[in-house]
């Protein structure tokens, strides 16, 4: 009888699929591995949250782990996973060397979600009121950390083709270490499409996004201060509803019903509120990856107006589900036109369905991804020999991080 294969996921936070696209993405990966017969353990040093998914109901073992503590070594050695998946590079930094030391034969996969260094470099350039250039990225310490993590892993999952190209061209990462795996979605059938609320059944604009994510908070401020006042002048009586998890007091203070600007907070059912809106507004001025809110809009049959960064890497050569522009007058004009023109609205809606079905259908990726995992597992020694730079970094990380971590652990034990 063959031994059940184990997958260990080390998460920065416990998955919250109703709070962020990252939480939904994690559940997609979990489902994929469970379908292959993997027994899954999800470990995290994070505190429990009110909105975390109940892992036990998904037949996943939940394990709390501690930073800079050798208790993890005992745990991972005993578990002996075939694959370890790091959710974001910070977890690989903390636990990757321990996995390499205690389970050297485990395939190490990094799920990047988005390139954190790209998002932060763009954010910094925006706040300095200048255009982002690639040199900004090369100067960032976080980019050095992130690239080192990618090199130390056997495979990194990339959600954006733009970021794949960036890693290959700017950072000279061997494409054998990268794998393009966007959101894995169910295709939208004709039946589902015809059941969506019609143009006339919908009203108002909507923005939705987790407020712990800086690009979302910035977009809401942009809407409030610049876009919405001009838009509402031309569409009096129309409202903009702002939804999102973890709204701060600063966010709540933007609630102005007299101006048609409503801060709604966390959506009980995100699909329902997006389906009832006529248009999603997403004026994102910095960020990275692909945007869950815009994927959700397309799934709900709701056209969107966004920026070039908002639509980056999302639609390939297919027409966008609405409009993508960085020009404010164009953004406002497109919003009004799409809100009022039913024929144009239907075309944008159909474009969104095509993007979901042609670029994000799980059937397009799952079989090839599993084949890739099986190939790497069977050829791990050669794969690592071919990645000499990664082996070199692993060696030095093991020596430096290991002793720093041991020092922190010893220091903490003295305090106790």
Question: Mind listing the pLDDT tens digit for each residue in 96-127?
Answer: 999 999 999 999 999 998 999 999 999 999 99
166-192: b (≥16 Cβ within 10 Å) or e: bbeeebebeeebbbbbbbbbeebeeee
What percent of the chain clears pLDDT 90, i.e. is strictly above it? 87
Residue 88 has pLDDT above 80, yes or no: yes
- All domains in the chain, ordered by first residue: 6-184+365-415 (3.40.50.2000), 190-361 (3.40.50.2000)
Beta partners for residue 361, in sequence order: 185
Q: What is the mean pLDDT of the segment spanning 58-68?
A: 95
Question: How many angstroms separate the CA atoms of 377 and 147, rounded?
Answer: 22
Residue 412 has pLDDT above 90, yes or no: no
Task: Place 375 in a pLDDT band, splitting at 50, 70 and 90.
Answer: very high
Its pTM stands at: 0.93
Question: pLDDT by residue (tens digit) across 196-214?
Answer: 999 999 999 999 999 999 9
Write down the pLDDT at residue 359.
97
Residue 1 has pLDDT above 60, yes or no: no
What percent of the chain clears pLDDT 70, i.e. is strictly above it? 95
Residue 406 has pLDDT above 60, yes or no: yes
Q: Shortest CA distance to 75 belongs to which of 107, 45, 30, 53?
A: 45
Which residues lie closer than 8 Å to 20 by C-beta, 6 or more apart?
Answer: 210, 213, 245, 292
Question: pLDDT by residue (tens digit) across 159-200?
Answer: 999 999 999 999 999 999 999 999 999 999 999 999 999 999
Residue 315 has pLDDT above 50, yes or no: yes
**Average model confidence (pLDDT) for the chain?**
93
Interior angle at CA 269, CA 266 and CA 275, nearest 5: 110
């Amino acid at each position: 009888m063959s031994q059940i294969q184990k997958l260990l996921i080390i998460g920065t936070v416990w998955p919250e699929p109703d709070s962020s696209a990252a939480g939904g993405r994690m559940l997609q990966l979990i489902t994929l591995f469970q379908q292959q017969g993997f027994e899954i353990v999800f470990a995290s040093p994070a505190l429990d949250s009110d909105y975390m998914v109940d892992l036990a109901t998904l037949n996943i073992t939940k394990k709390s782990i501690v930073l800079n503590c050798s208790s993890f070594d005992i745990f991972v050695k005993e578990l002996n996973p075939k694959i370890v998946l790091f959710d974001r590079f910070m977890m690989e930094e903390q636990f990757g060397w321990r996995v390499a030391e205690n389970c050297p034969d485990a395939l190490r996969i990094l799920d990047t979600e988005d390139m954190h260094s790209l998002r932060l470099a763009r954010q910094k350039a925006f706040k300095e009121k200048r255009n982002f250039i690639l040199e900004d990225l090369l100067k960032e310490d976080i980019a050095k950390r992130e690239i080192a993590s990618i090199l130390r892993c056997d495979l990194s999952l990339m959600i954006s083709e733009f970021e794949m190209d960036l890693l290959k061209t700017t950072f000279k990462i061997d494409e054998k270490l990268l794998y393009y795996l966007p959101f894995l979605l169910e295709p939208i059938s004709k039946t589902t499409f015809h059941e969506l609320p019609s143009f006339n059944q919908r009203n108002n604009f909507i923005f939705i996004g987790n407020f712990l994510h800086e690009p979302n908070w910035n977009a809401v401020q942009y809407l409030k201060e610049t876009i919405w006042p001009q838009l509402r002048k031309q569409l009096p009586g129309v409202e903009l509803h702002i939804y999102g998890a973890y709204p701060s007091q600063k966010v709540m203070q933007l609630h102005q019903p007299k101006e048609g600007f409503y801060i709604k907070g966390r959506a009980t059912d995100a699909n329902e509120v997006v389906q009832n809106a006529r248009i999603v507004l997403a004026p994102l001025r910095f960020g990275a990856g692909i945007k869950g809110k815009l994927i959700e809009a397309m799934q709900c049959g709701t056209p969107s107006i966004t920026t070039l960064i908002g639509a980056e890497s999302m639609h390939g050569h297919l027409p966008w589900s609405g409009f993508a522009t960085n020009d404010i007058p164009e953004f406002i004009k497109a919003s009004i036109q799409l809100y009022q023109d039913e024929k144009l609205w239907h075309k944008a809606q159909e474009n969104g369905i095509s993007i979901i079905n042609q670029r994000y259908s799980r059937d397009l990726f799952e079989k090839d991804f599993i084949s890739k995992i099986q190939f790497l597992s069977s050829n791990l020694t050669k794969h690592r020999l071919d990645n000499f730079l990664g082996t070199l970094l692993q060696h030095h990380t093991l020596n430096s991080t290991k002793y720093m971590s041991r020092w922190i652990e010893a220091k903490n034990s003295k305090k106790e």
